[in-house]
Amino acid sequence: MGGMTIHEWTAPADADQPLSPARLGEEYGRAWAGRLTTAVAEYRGLYELNSIGADVVSQVTAACRAATLEHAPDLAEELDAMATGAAAAGATGIDGAPLALEDLWMLTSRTEILAHKQRPAAECSTIVHLPDDEHAAPRTLQTWDWLESTSQEMLVRRHSTADGVRVVSFCEFGQPAKIGVNTRGLGVHFNILLHERDGQTGRDGLVVSGGGVPVHVIARLILEQAATVAEAAQIARSLPVSASTVITVATTNGTEPGTGRRVPEAASIEISPAGVAVIAVTPGQTLTHTNHFLDAELAVGERAESTSTSWKRLDCLSGALELAAIEQGRERAEAFGRLPAAPINVVADPAKPPQDRSETKATLVLDLAGGRLEFARGSTARVAAGGEWRVMAA
């Protein structure tokens, strides 16, 4: 984990009103110009290590931007302005030139670019418990794993939408969202998946032309627009994608069939060019997900290698379901951190090449009732050993 840092940023307001998309992006870019310069250099290097040519990076980036302009124009405007603001503040991209649109969108589209290279599925483990109590919120936990040499600095950001929804989310620099919660009682976790159709573009399983909307954009749209699992799934099904991921959605806004009473709900929404699948649990049950498909039809195109740790990490979570029911977020994380030699706490293997050397960089919990994101640097084992625990409200 080294010297990883998680920064915090609250978007400024204009006369107590949320900023326009362009102003929001410009403010972000100016505030984090240096971090964006570093992120661009790291990801350019990562693509080179994975033998992904500059022409592929340019093509995928342009296609992802075009898809976002079509399907989420406000967010596209924000991201474009982010690049402009960062460049004005001195951020640089390739060869030291002022940071350009391609540099910024290359960060937003990193999953879509990396879909062009076979990689081990070695990041992220998520668990969500649904209490059998209509007044209790889902209890969640995720370990976020990524490459040791990349993203040593992360961001938890807070902003408001024009509709008055407040969102707090954890993400890498240059990405619109990854893991987070809103003030409507909904939150998301985020795990990468690999499918044989990755690199092609599909909408709800149908082959379509053009590029895909980046999966990090989809996470942001769900956080801003959805209050229920059904609304989140509808957003996922409505958009073309060219890479796979699973967005696990938990809310306090479910409806019990037959009675109509409000209950907690959770589902993993597996998203792929081959289709979208919703894997839900009911109150009293616990949902787990790592980095392989659980839906039987989508699993036919599974591209995670058999040597991936995904199955071991899923077994680890499934063997400790009772820990997910612990009410307080930090106590929940500490309990998982005390599991002996738990594979969900990933330690970088120096024998592996840099592009395959993953480590657990952060532990995150969604407080859906309070509209708060709880987080810590490093693994649950680090939390259990007394590591800091932080909270940011939406």
- Residue-level pLDDT at 278: 99
Residues 235-256 as b or e (16 or more Cβ within 10 Å = b): bbeebbbbbbbbbbbbbbbbee
Q: Could you tell me if residue 80 is left (phi over 0), alpha (psi between -120 and 50 degrees) or otherwise beta?
A: alpha
For 262, phi and psi rounded to 5 degrees?
A: -75, 130
What is the C-alpha to C-alpha distance for residues 335 and 127, in angstroms, rounded to an integer? 13
The tokens describing 192, both together, are 């990468």
Angle at 155 between CA 343 and CA 243, to 5 degrees: 65
Residues 346-383 as b or e (16 or more Cβ within 10 Å = b): bebeeeeeebbbbbbbbbbbbbbeebbbbbbbbbbbbb
**Alpha helices, H only, 50-183:** 54-71, 73-88, 101-108, 110-114
Among candidate residues 310, 328, 214, 319, the one with its CA nearest the CA of residue 271: 214
Among candidate residues 185, 231, 216, 191, the one with its CA nearest the CA of residue 367: 185
Q: Are 385 and 148 in contact (CB under 8 A)?
A: no
- Residue-level pLDDT at 123: 76
Angle at 146 between CA 151 and CA 53, to 5 degrees: 75
Beta partners for residue 195, in sequence order: 302
What is the C-alpha to C-alpha distance for residues 366 and 371, in angstroms, rounded to an integer? 8
- Residue-level pLDDT at 119: 65
- Residue-level pLDDT at 4: 86
Q: Are 26 and 84 in contact (CB under 8 A)?
A: yes
Q: Per-residue pLDDT tens, the chain, 394 aa: give them.
A: 556 899 999 999 876 788 999 999 999 999 999 999 999 999 999 999 999 999 999 999 999 999 999 999 999 999 999 999 999 999 999 889 999 999 999 999 999 999 988 765 567 999 999 999 888 999 999 999 999 989 999 999 999 999 999 999 999 999 999 999 999 999 999 999 999 999 999 999 999 999 999 999 999 999 999 999 999 999 999 999 999 999 999 999 998 888 888 899 999 999 999 999 999 999 999 999 999 999 999 999 999 988 899 999 999 999 999 999 999 999 999 999 999 999 999 999 999 888 889 999 999 999 999 999 999 999 999 999 999 999 999 9
What does the CA dihedral 333, 186, 263, 316 come to, rounded to 10 degrees?
A: -30
Q: Are 174 and 104 in contact (CB under 8 A)?
A: yes
- Residue-level pLDDT at 122: 62
Beta partners for residue 141, in sequence order: 127
CB-count exposure of residue 300 (10 Å: 0-12, 13-18, 19+): exposed
Sign of the dihedral defined by the CA atoms of residues 198, 356, 172, 77, in that order: negative
What is the C-alpha to C-alpha distance for residues 218 and 63, in angstroms, rounded to an integer? 15
What residues contact residue 56 under an 8 Å CB cut-off, 6+ apart? 113, 116
CB atoms within 10 A of CB 139: 26
For 25, phi and psi rounded to 5 degrees?
A: -65, -40
What is the C-alpha to C-alpha distance for residues 135 and 166, in angstroms, rounded to an integer? 22
Which pTM value belongs to this model?
0.97
CB-count exposure of residue 259 (10 Å: 0-12, 13-18, 19+): exposed
